[in-house]
Chain A
Amino acid sequence: MANDTDLLDLDNVHKHYGAYHALKGLTFAVPGGTFGLLGPNGAGKSTMLKVLLGLLDFEGNARVFGVDVRARPREVRARVGYMPEKDNYLPGMNAVEYCAYGAELSGLPRAEAMSRTHAILEFCGLGDKRYQKIDGYSTGMKQRVKLAQALVHDPELLLLDEPTNGLDPAGRDEMLALIKALPERRGCAILLSSHLLPDVEYLCERAILLHQGEVYYAGTIEALRRSDGEETLEVRVKEGAEKLATALAGKGCRVTPDGAALVVALPDGAGSDLVFAAAEEAKLQVRHLAPRRLTLEAAFVRVVNEAQAKKQAAAGG
């Protein structure tokens, strides 16, 4: 249920490109924080970003900071910073000229734009290179200057499109650390669009999973990574997993073997002591017991598969 304080609030947003239905009734709300936008190519991520920036006509309603994107797109863009995937620097400019230009275009007075440019370039680690032409920057420095131009006007929401694209492992770690610190140090919310699920997992609290123009999941990453949307445990014993599975089933648990481990869904109200009790009955020693978490990639695949299976069943029935 959306409310007035939501950062993003999309209600039945559709977008058609001719006969192609790019967004199919997107409905979700995001309260704030750092959230990832996940989806394969063609899922509708770019189209959704365009909708959020007020660059496209669309059907339905979309609000950013409670502002109607369709009615007041420039107000929204003034409060959003966008770091695109591709390089977009202007030839012949150094980082100071480039960021100050961006700040002025976003509405900062000239003197303020220049002063904040120096501060943000320092923040992004480009302080000593700021008067060097951007054309001569390394990939890592270009990524940093793209981040700086997106941050220079103090946006409330930062849209990051593949921010670690093309970076070596060390550069990627530095960029991720810089982004991770932004909400606390700059007070902005972040929407991260990325194919790199480890990046999303590291940075984001929430995720929106888009597939073929539909939202397949919108919620916390923690919940997404639960094996089937409920709290489960991963249990390992030295040997005799089948016996333990039988004992657990007898106590009302749902047990699924996963290699040498058992994935155990406890009955309502039960705790992990039930597993130990079942192991004792079966005269087995529990060697490992931990909450079951899927990798984000596995969770992504599961959610897509489940949604597609549901659609096929609906189409068949």
Chain B
Amino acid sequence: MSLRDRGYKPYEGAHTPLAGRWTVVLRHTLRMTAKQAWVLSILIISGFPVLVWAALIFFKAYGFVQSTPDLQGSEGVVDPGQYVFLFLAKWYGVPLQAFLMAMFAGGGAIADDSRNNAFQFYFSRPLSREQYLVGKVLAVVLLVAFVSLVPAVLLAIVRIALSHDGADLTRQLWHLPRALALGTLEALVLGVPVVALSSLSKGRGYAQAAFAGLFLLPWVIGDVFVWMFRSPWPALLSVPAQLESVGAVIFSYHFADGDRPLPWPAAVAVMVVMVVSSIALLRARLATAEVVAG
């Protein structure tokens, strides 16, 4: 026996359960994606706005900031707890960095594997296509959540910690599940479609460009048309407009008189269609993935 074989014994121990193999894909995808320069930069940079918003909530809660025009609802000065909503849904909050994270983390999720024939590596093993899909999608969704949901939850905790009394505490506690709900929604509507776009090409650049177009154009053009036509409907395909509309319902936020938010049922419908059709597209694309090259 060669020196290199010394100590070799066939593996005779137990194998991990088949049903949990998606966690292996998730863990490795998270690790490899988080190593990418752009993703790492966004993760680091996303910490700074949270500090600013936390400071804003602190000063607001103690009355140092009486009113800020942008942060004012129709019923007067916004409660600092509502800043969590503004952070998650407004352009000056987290949507842009969540979009950037989705684009850089998700653009190559499937495209890189497709370009490198990695389906052979995955599917010649006891891993189903659904498990692969869950691992890949969840990794991107978690990274988006890391820059949107996690800071929002931290801000909600900051506000809860600054409660004046028991009644205020009871009221502010609701911001935690609200932040979780809107943050999860945001991570899903940004994370799932970008992975679906990634499955359409072997080049991550194409997927990223397509995602940027689909996210930014309806947002910018939608806002311009909303202002021009004084109707909310041109913003129907704008993800930030949808998040703002649904988030306002979740946080019981009252818009200022001049605002024209999308009707929330329409926003929910478009988000559901986006996520469901993305999953259907992913499943269809993976069903035809070649494992043994002919």
Q: A residues near B, CB below 8 A?
A: 46-47, 49-50, 53, 55, 74-75, 77-78, 80, 82, 84-93, 97, 101-102, 104-109, 112, 116, 119, 122-123, 125, 127, 149, 153-154, 161, 181, 185-187
Contact = CB atoms under 8 A, between A and B. Distances in A.
Contacts of B119: 88
A81 to B, nearest CB: 8
B25 A105 contact: yes
Interface of B: 1-2, 4-5, 7-8, 10-11, 13-16, 18, 21, 24-25, 28, 32, 35-36, 112-113, 116-128, 291-294
Contacts of B113: 90
A82 B28 CA distance: 21
B143 to A, nearest CB: 16
Contacts of B32: 90, 92-93, 97
B118 A88 contact: yes
Nearest to B121: A88
B116 A87 contact: yes
A123 B25 CA distance: 26
Contacts of B25: 105
A107 B292 contact: no
A106 B122 CA distance: 9
A101 B125 CA distance: 11
Contacts of B15: 78, 106-108
B16 A122 contact: no
A153 B2 CA distance: 20
B126 A46 contact: no
Given A55-B291, A82-B292, A90-B112, 18 more contacts: A46-B294, A55-B123, A77-B126, A78-B126, A82-B120, A85-B293, A90-B32, A90-B113, A93-B32, A101-B24, A105-B25, A105-B122, A105-B126, A107-B16, A116-B11, A125-B4, A181-B2, A186-B8
B24 A185 contact: no
29 contacts: A47-B294, A53-B292, A77-B124, A80-B124, A84-B120, A84-B293, A87-B117, A88-B117, A88-B121, A89-B116, A90-B32, A93-B32, A102-B121, A102-B125, A104-B28, A105-B24, A106-B15, A107-B16, A107-B21, A108-B16, A109-B13, A109-B14, A153-B11, A154-B10, A154-B11, A161-B292, A161-B293, A185-B2, A185-B8
Nearest to A127: B4
A80 B35 CA distance: 31
A53 B122 CA distance: 12
A86 B18 contact: no
Contact of A109 (B5, B10, B16, B294): B16
Contact of A84 (B2, B36, B117): B117
A245 B8 CA distance: 58
A105 B18 CA distance: 9
The 7 closest A-B pairs by CB, nearest first: A107-B15, A82-B124, A74-B126, A88-B117, A46-B294, A78-B126, A88-B120
A123 B6 CA distance: 10
Contacts of B1: 185
Nearest to A54: B126
Most buried by A among B32, B117, B123, B125: B125
Given A78-B126, A108-B16, A46 B293 contact: yes
Nearest to B14: A109
Given A101-B24, A102-B125, A107-B126, A90 B4 contact: no
Most buried by A among B1, B4, B13, B32: B4
Contacts of A77: 124-126
Contacts of A50: 291-292
Contacts of A153: 11
Contacts of A82: 120, 124, 292
Contacts of A123: 4-5, 8
Nearest to B5: A185
Given A88-B116, A123-B4, A49 B292 contact: yes
A104 B24 contact: yes
Contact of B125 (A85, A87, A106, A109): A106
Most buried by A among B18, B124, B291: B124
Contacts of B128: 74
A228 B78 CA distance: 93
A195 to B, nearest CB: 14
Nearest to B25: A105
Nearest to B15: A107
A35 B129 CA distance: 30
A68 B291 CA distance: 20
A112 B11 contact: yes
B226 to A, nearest CB: 42
A75 B120 CA distance: 17
Contacts of A112: 11, 13
A224 B210 CA distance: 56
A55 B126 contact: no
A46 B8 contact: no
B227 to A, nearest CB: 44
A290 to B, nearest CB: 35
Contacts of B4: 122-123, 125, 127
B202 to A, nearest CB: 12
Contact of A86 (B2, B36, B125, B293): B293
A261 to B, nearest CB: 41
